[in-house]
Structure 1
Amino acid sequence: MRTRNHLQLITAIASSVIALSACGRKESVPKPQIPEIGFVTVNPQAVRVSTELPGRTSAYLVAQVRARADGIVLSRDFVEGGEVRAGQRLYKIDPAPYVAKVDAAKAALAKAEASLITASALAKRDKVLVAASAISEQDYENAVSAERVAAADVAARKAEVETAQINLGYTNVIAPVTGRTGVSQVTPGAYVQANQATLMDTIQEIDRVYVDVAQASLDGLKLRRAIQEGRLKTYGPNAAKVTLILEDGREYPQKGTLQFSDVTVDQSTGSVRLRAVFPNPDRVLLPGMFVQARVETGIDEHAFLVPQVGVTHDQKGHVNALVVGPDNKVVIRSLVTAGTYGADWLVDSGLQPGDRVIVQGTGKVRPGMMVKAVPATNAAAVIRSSTELAVRRSPSPGTPASQSAASGV
């Protein structure tokens, strides 16, 4: 009996020790702390919207110099790759056969003029005779007809002389435009033919150059819809400015102007061609260069700029941002973005004025959590406070780079 009481006492003591230990552990568990995050407050602002597109340069004027006379090239009167002026002689073709044709045409003209003099004199004489009834009316009409035939023959011979002189002039091959020549395709001694239009050289004017880029028809449609709905304010006809980024990454100092947008969609690429013109006084731009063209499409007066660090994409490609709600709980927002500029996203929809977007500590919070919200450190570097910024619109998902969106205005 005594042993049983002893065992019960030991069991009670052990239970008390376990209970006290459990209480001690429960009191040592720390309470969960509210995470601290950094946010930026976003508000609508006026933003210059632009589109960056790949393109190629081409000469403002291209003139192929081709032979318009048959013969042997006697001389080349320019330096290959040099500047030539419109009207300057480039080549001399042997003129001897054409000089002979001019002389023959002039002789035929002289003969026709002599025949006209004789026919005119006979017609004048027969006019007097028919008035005196010395010859018949038929004879007089024949004389008048012969005079007219002789006059027409003179006109035809004059045309032959003019044609012969024109062909003689073609032996002097002149520059049709002012520009820079390429590699000469013929040398002195070569035989050229007019009926085959032998290519002799090519002249290109590069004081101004064209830049051709491709606009995805879908993005152009979205842009026009934004203009119609008043979300985007355009600069007006032919006022859109274009900036070039050269192959070495530098910005071309001269600004260009958007000239036109084609009205036909290329069925193979689904794009529309845009063309801009740039001054090229220092000949930096050469035909065929690959460039990036940044086209200013207009001003979005109610745009939101959100730092890229505060925007995420899920596995389905949806764009989201975490926002601190009025009760300091995290709320997820689905966004529609239109492009990027530096470290910012341009957001078309999904945010409200005054929203606090989380840009620091996003990895340690999730929707529904209570957070301690403080302004982001170095906020000036996180979001721009300028009232007018340039933003590049992104192409539609799946659109090739060569078919990126550009201005349709």
Structure 2
Amino acid sequence: MALLVAACGAGDEAANSSAQGKGGAGGPVAVGFVVVQPTSVASTTELPGRTAAFETSEVRPQVTGIIRRRLFTEGAMVRAGQTLYQIDPSLYQASANQAQANLSSAAATAEAARIRADRYRPLAQAEAVSKQDYTDAVATQRQAEASIAQNRAALETARINLNFTRVPAPITGRIGRSLATVGALVSSNQADPMAVIQRTDPMFVDIQQSSANLLALRRSLQQGDVAPASANVRLKLEDGSDYGFAGTVQFAEVTVDQATGTVTLRASFPNPQGLLLPGMFVRATFAQSVNQNAFLVPQPAVARDARGAATVYVVGPDNKAVQRQIVAERAQGAFWVVTQGLNPGDKVIVQGTAKLKPNAAIRPVPANTPQKVQAPSGKAQPGGGATRSGG
């Protein structure tokens, strides 16, 4: 009998302790809440992209001839105007010499025609020669002067072609492998370039964004729901590491790719170490807009039904749990970004929501409030003192 009384006493104490921890049998449930206030939340987007050289130039010949020398090291930096190839200049030097001789001949002929016309002028006035002879002499002089201009232009063309036998670098950048070797025949209308030069500092990154998302963003900006964000962009490389430099968005294409339904955004990044190479796959993270009236709600406070609708519990009048339907389309860190359904100063329940029901009585306390554990009123005496008192 004494053992039965002792067991009953221990069970009563455990039940009373459990009831105190839960607010009592049928009493209000203790919940933790946070007070939410509107704040500015950037709409961060992560999109795929490809790197592209800032400038790309194909080195092509402008005259036909045999390559005599290659004057650069493959993979090295070259400067604009630096000679890369030397094409055999023999024929072009001969053409320039011939054009120079033709110009000299034309000049001599023009000088003789001028003197002849000057001599005929007084004779024609004195009617010592016919006026037709004087007219012919003047016409011959003018033809000779025109021949000088023609031969001067031919000489200039020959000199230009002679200069083209030295193939220069169009831009400053890093040159790739040579696609033409010494002794090869090149021509001005060939399909393949002799080499390719790329400028990789800075570097472009072409980012693909859905045209539907871009349209929604522009409408939100026009309606004033969100404000434009800064154009800073961060990169994540193919191995998952973060690129150390930030870039800026330069522009967005004015047309939509019909095959993919995307719009290309181009960003520019510094690349002093040459870490970015043309054609690399990267992921770009940037903020396109800022919602100035959003709420950051801890993720444990948000529940979703079978249709995906988001809800939270807030502390209502008379300490009742009120269920609210909210709009929380994206997460940011440990929070949901809530754009509709909450008001400034709402007390959102974040702890003790597992068994909450709408309009249930609650005992709200600020979240993460330490629990007060009360010491028992008396200690059981060795040898079953509680049994003796009840016996």
**Same-fold call, TM > 0.5?**
yes
1:125 to 108, 119, 123: 119
One-letter amino acid matched to 2:74: E
Q: Deviations over 1:286-330 (max 9, x none)?
A: 111122222233433222111222223333333333333233333
Is contact 2:32–2:369 with CA below 8 Å preserved after alignment?
no
Matches of 2:151 and 2:98, distance apart in 1: 10
Matched with 2:59 is: 65
Matched AA of 2:247:
G
Which of 98, 103, 109 is residue 97 of structure 2 equivalent to? Answer: 103
Distance in 2 separating the partners of 1:133 and 1:58: 80
Tell me the residue number matched to 2:311.
320
User: SS in structure 2 opposite 1:364?
Assistant: coil
Superposition map of 1:233-382 within 5 A: 233-234=227-228, 240-377=231-368
Task: Please list, as runs of the form range in 1=range in 2, the aligned pairs for 1:72-111 lying within 5 A after superposition.
Answer: 72-111=66-105
CA distance in 1, matches of 2:73, 2:169: 13
Distance 2:347 2:240 in 1: 36
Specify whether residues 329 and 131 from structure 1 end up closer, same or farther in structure 2 by C-alpha distance, changes over 3 A only. Answer: same
Q: SS state of the match for residue 363, structure 1?
A: coil
1:169 maps to 2:160? no
- Rounded to whole Å, the distance in 1 between the matches of 2:119 and 2:32 is 116
State the Cα deviation string for residues 336-374 of structure 1 (Å, max 9, x = none).
Answer: 235332112222212111222233333322334333333
CA apart distance, 1:58:
0.7
Tell me how far apart the structure 2 counterparts of residues 306 and 267 of structure 1 sit (CA, whole Å). 39
Does the aligned pair in 2 maintain the 1:47–1:301 contact within 8 Å? Answer: yes
- 2: CA distance, partners of 1:268 / 1:355: 47
TM-score (norm 2): 0.82
Aligned with residue 136 of structure 1, among 130, 147, 164: 130
1:191 equivalent to 2:201? Answer no
The alpha-carbon deviation at position 33 of structure 1 amounts to 4.8
TM-score by length of 1: 0.79
Please tell me whether the aligned partners of residues 68 and 194 of structure 1 are also in contact (alpha carbons under 8 angstroms): yes
Structure 1 counterpart of 2:108, which letter? A
- Who is 2:381 aligned against? none
Read off the aligned partner of 2:96 and give its amino acid letter.
Answer: V
The range that moved more, 189-198 or 100-109, is: 189-198
Residue 54 to residue 366, structure 1, CA distance change in 2 (3 Å): farther
Cα pair distance change 1:295/1:137, threshold 3 Å:
farther
Long gaps (5+) in structure 2: 1-23, 371-391
Structure 1: runs of 5+ lacking an equivalent: 1-29, 380-409
Query: Do the aligned partners of 1:213 and 1:293 also contact (CA within 8 Å) in 2?
Result: yes
Q: Counterparts in 2 of 1:45-56, with a 5 A limit?
A: 45-56=39-50
Q: Which residue of structure 2 aligns with residue 401 of structure 1? A: none
Question: Sequence identity, in percent?
Answer: 48
The offset of 1:228, in angstroms, is: 2.7
Q: Could you tell me which residue of structure 2 aligns to residue 232 of structure 1?
A: 226
Letter in 2 for 1:312: A
Equivalent residues, number = 347
| Aligned match of 1:155 | 149
| Cα distance in 1 for residues equivalent to 2:119 and 2:192 | 56
Q: 1:31-63, CA deviations, whole angstroms, 9 ceiling, x for partnerless residues?
A: 435433333221101233332221111110001
**Whole-angstrom distance in 2 between the partners of 1:317 and 1:112:** 91
Partner of 1:206: 200
SS in 2 for 1:315: coil
Residues 61-80 of structure 1, C-alpha deviation per residue, up to 9 Å, x if partnerless?
00111121211111211111
| 8 Å CA contact retained: 2:68, 2:182 | yes
Rounded to whole Å, the distance in 2 between the matches of 1:249 and 1:283 is: 18
SS at match of 1:362: coil
